[in-house]
Structures are given as structure tokens and as C-alpha cells.
Amino acid sequence: MTQLTDAFARRFYYLRLSVTDVCNFRCTYCLPDGYRPQGVTNKQFLTLAEIRRLTAAFAAAGTEKVRLTGGEPSLRRDFTDIIATVAATPGISRVAVTTNGYRLAREVAGWRDAGLTAINVSMDSLDPRQFHAITGQDRFHQVMAGIDAALDAGYATVKVNAVLMRDLNDRSLARFLAWIKTRPIQLRFIELMETGEGGALFRRHHLSGEVIRRELIAQGWQLKPRGRSDGPAQVFGHPDYQGEVGLIMPYEPSFCASCNRLRVSALGNLHLCLFGEAGVPLRDLLADDGQQAALQARIADSLGQKKQTHFLHQGQTGITQNLSFIGG
């Protein structure tokens, strides 16, 4: 097997697969006006059979981890079947989801039975009113119940994503740390990223994760090593805490050097970078099991176009108007 590798000798073990663009939340930094179909109907997103072929092709080229994302992936009625299909693919040992937590309490036991190995839940604030203001949904307690349900269902840890925003949640570190002191939660602060639609919000609220990093180190937190199919977070641990803290800092100069992931949109386009230009269409090669060799070749060839870094520092956000269509 030839491992997917780009021109900068980066190897790709991790696929982030969006299964829908649809979302029922209206996060200020993502879909402030809610989901708008823009000419695409639900039925046009990748089918279960297409997801099976796509995952098989990536697995044949060395992908070991698949993250299901969106939009809100759990809004797909066949979401549990999607998990089972991806988990059954030879070579795929890790199947994760990133979810807003809306369906978590009700569905998590079934997802686990289907083969889901890891869960990331978005939770930007521990204050129910602020949570409502950021997400447009008064569902703080429902999402919290989902996190508890995931731990009860047997997940040893749950990752919780919080987008770090100046003047909103940037002074909440103490409260977040108290929350994870006795809970096996990896709390991850994601730096706000600039998207095509989010320029004004970015200028108002972007804050470097460095502020959090300095505070963690001052309090005795220590950086932990990173595995080859792990995400981009710098993870810190502390002997007095059951939980961990992760920092995702895409504006750090070295961020892209450790890139190990590729993305496929819910319409079947391969995106080499979250902030790249138009994706490479794969859908015409997902119609039949007999196209696997051609599909693998197109994926491998496309990697030659992967750039060394994103161009966010130059204010170029690529075609990414918001992160809901490519899954963050």
C-alpha cells in the first residue's frame, strides 16, 4: 500500500468527511443567519453507498481515522448506518464525530454500538445564556446531558470544542478548568478562524490561543506528545486534573507543517485545505465498486496540488464562506 503523501512529505492518515451541509444551530461565527439551502437539496448529499466507496478508497491509501462532520451530521436520518458503514471498512480503526450535541443524549448509545470510537461536542460557553446567544439555540442543558450520556455510554473521554472569542468566553478559563477537574473531558480551545462571511466578526473577536497557553503553563500544565492520526491540537495535562486542555492555533507559523488530514465535502469534493480553492470532484468515481482504482489514483494525484500552508495571514480565506459546508 502507498501511503498518501504530498510534495512536502506530509502523510495523510485522517479524513474529515462532511455528510451534510444542513444545520439547526446558528452559531455566530459559522451560520449566523441559519442554514440556507442555496440550490442543494438534502437528497443530493453523498449516499450511504457513496460514503462506503469513498471510505474504502481512502482506507486503501492508508487512512486510519475518519471524522464525520457537517453541518450537523446527526441530522442525517441514516447517521447510525453511516457510522456502521465507515467502521466496517477494513483499515479504519477510528471513527469520530463532531456534533453540536443536539441529538447526543438520545442517540449516543446506538452510535457506540454502531462503532463510533470518539466524540467531539461543540460547547462554547458554560453559561446557558451565553450559549444561547452564541448558538441561537436555548439548548445548553440538552447538550450537557448529551456529554454526560456519552460518558455513561462508555466513552472514556469526550472532547469538547470551544471557539475562543475575545470579550465573550476568553475570561472563562477558570470556570472551564473547574468543570474538567473531575471529568475526563478534553476541552479544546479553537482560535476563531476568518471565513469569507465572517470578516467583521473575526476582527472583533479573534484572540490568539497564546493567552490560554501562557496561563496553562503558569499553572503547571504540560504539553503531551501527539500521535500520527491525531488532530492538530496541542494537548496539555496536569496531575491535579482528570481532564485535559487542547489548543488549536491555526495562525501559528508551524500549524500546517504537521497537517495529516484531508477533507471531503457532503457533495463529494476533495478539499486539500480548509481554506483552499475549489475542491476536486470525486463523485463521478463513486457510482460503482469497479471505479476504486481510478478513485484512488485521482485522490493520490490531487495531493500534488496541496499547498505548503494556508494563506490566512494574507487575509485569503479561499472559497470557504463558512465552515458548515466543509465541516471545520
Provide the binding-site residues for ligand SF4, judged by CB under 6 A.
23, 25-27, 30-31, 70-72, 100, 122, 324
- 320 interface partner picked from ligand SAM, ligand SF4, none, CB below 5 to 8 A per type: none
Give the one entry of ligand SAM, ligand SF4, none that residue 187 binds, where binding means its C-beta sits below a cut-off of 5 to 8 angstroms depending on kind: none
DSSP 35-58: ---TT--GGGSPPHHHHHHHHHHH
* Nearest of 177, 152, 159, 176 to residue 230 by alpha carbon: 159
Q: How far is the CB of 25 from ligand SAM (least distance, A)?
A: 7
Grid coordinates representing 204 are: 472583533
Name which of ligand SAM, ligand SF4, none residue 55 binds, using a CB cut-off of 5 to 8 Å depending on partner kind: none
Q: What is the dihedral of CA 121, 125, 126, 132, to 10 degrees?
A: -100
Half-sphere exposure of 262 (CA within 13 A, CB side): 31
Residue 161 near which of ligand SAM, ligand SF4, none (CB within 5-8 Å, type-dependent): ligand SAM
Best CA proximity match to 116, nearest among 66, 52, 51: 66
Are the C-beta atoms of residues 127 and 110 closer than 8 Å to each other? no
Residue with the CB atom nearest ligand SAM in the bound state: 328
Closer residue to ligand SAM (CB): 275 or 295: 275
To ligand SAM, the closest distance from the beta carbon of 234 in angstroms equals 16
Q: Cβ 110 to ligand SF4, closest distance in Å? A: 21
Q: Which of ligand SAM, ligand SF4, none binds 307 (CB below 5-8 Å, type-dependent)?
A: none
Q: How far is the CB of 108 from ligand SF4 (least distance, A)?
A: 17
* Residue whose CB is less far from ligand SF4, 62 or 128: 128
What does residue 173 show for φ and ψ, rounded to 5 degrees?
-55, -45
Regarding beta strands 222-223 and 234-237, do their DSSP bridges make them parallel or antiparallel, or are they unpaired? antiparallel
Which residues form the interface with ligand SAM (CB under 6 A)? 23, 29-30, 69-70, 72, 98-100, 122, 161, 163, 190, 192-193, 195, 198, 323-324, 327-328
Q: What is d(CA 263, CA 255) in angstroms, rounded to the nearest whole number?
A: 17
Q: Please answer whether residues 35 and 27 qualify as being in contact, where contact means their C-beta atoms are separated by less than 8 angstroms.
A: no
Rounded least distance, CB 5 to ligand SF4, Å: 31
> Which one, 44 or 309, has the nearer CB to ligand SF4?
44
